[in-house]
Amino acid sequence: MTTHRAGFRESRALGNDEIKRFLDRNWWGVLSTLEEHFPYAVPVVYGYDGDHFYIANKIGRKTSNIEAHSGVCLCVTEVERTNAEWSSVVVTGDAEFVDDSDGQLDALRALRGQTGLDVKVGPQDISRLAAALVVRIVPREITGRTIVGETSENRSLDDR
C-alpha cells in the first residue's frame, strides 16, 4: 500500500527578529497551565514588552493552576489562506503574580500597547487593574516556525 502525504510541506525556524515582529503584531495566544496531571489551555490576550509577557485575569482555574505549578506555555499562531500558510511562536517559561503597583503599571502599558490602544493610563484603568490578578511570564525559551506558500517540490504527487 502506498501512502503519500498530500499537502505536506517542510516548516522552517523563525529567526529572533522574525519572532519579535510576529509577537509585536499579535495579541491573542493560548496559555497552557498544568492542572493536576493534565494540561489546561485557554485563549488569552497578552502584552509583551520585549522581555516578559503579561496577562491579566480574574481569580479562576488559570490562576489556581499557576499557583500550584508556575511552568506555563503560551502559543501564538497565525493561519492564512486556508491553512496554506502559517506561523507560530511557542513561549515556555515561569509564571509569577505581579503584586507591586509599578509592576502592574508595566503590565498594563504592555497590554494596552500590544492591542494598539492608547498607552496612557487613566483612573478607570487603575480600578480595573486592582480587580485583576496580573501574571508575568518570564520566558525560558521562545521558538517559532513557519510555512509560507507552496513550491513544486512540496506539492503531492497527485497535484503534479
pTM for the full predicted model: 0.82
- What are the pLDDT digits (tens) for 118-160? 656 666 766 666 678 999 999 999 999 999 765 434 433 334 3
Q: Which residues in the chain come in under a pLDDT of 50?
A: 1-6, 151-160
Q: Which domains, from first to last, does the chain contain?
A: 12-144 (2.30.110.10)
Q: What are phi and psi of 103, to 5 degrees?
A: -65, -40
**Can you count the helices (H) and strands (E) in the chain?**
4, 8
How far is Cα 133 from Cα 57, in angstroms, rounded to an integer? 5
| 39 and 24 Cβ atoms separated by less than 8 Å | no
How far is Cα 131 from Cα 117, in angstroms, rounded to an integer? 20
Side-chain half-sphere of 25: how many Cα atoms within 13 Å?
11
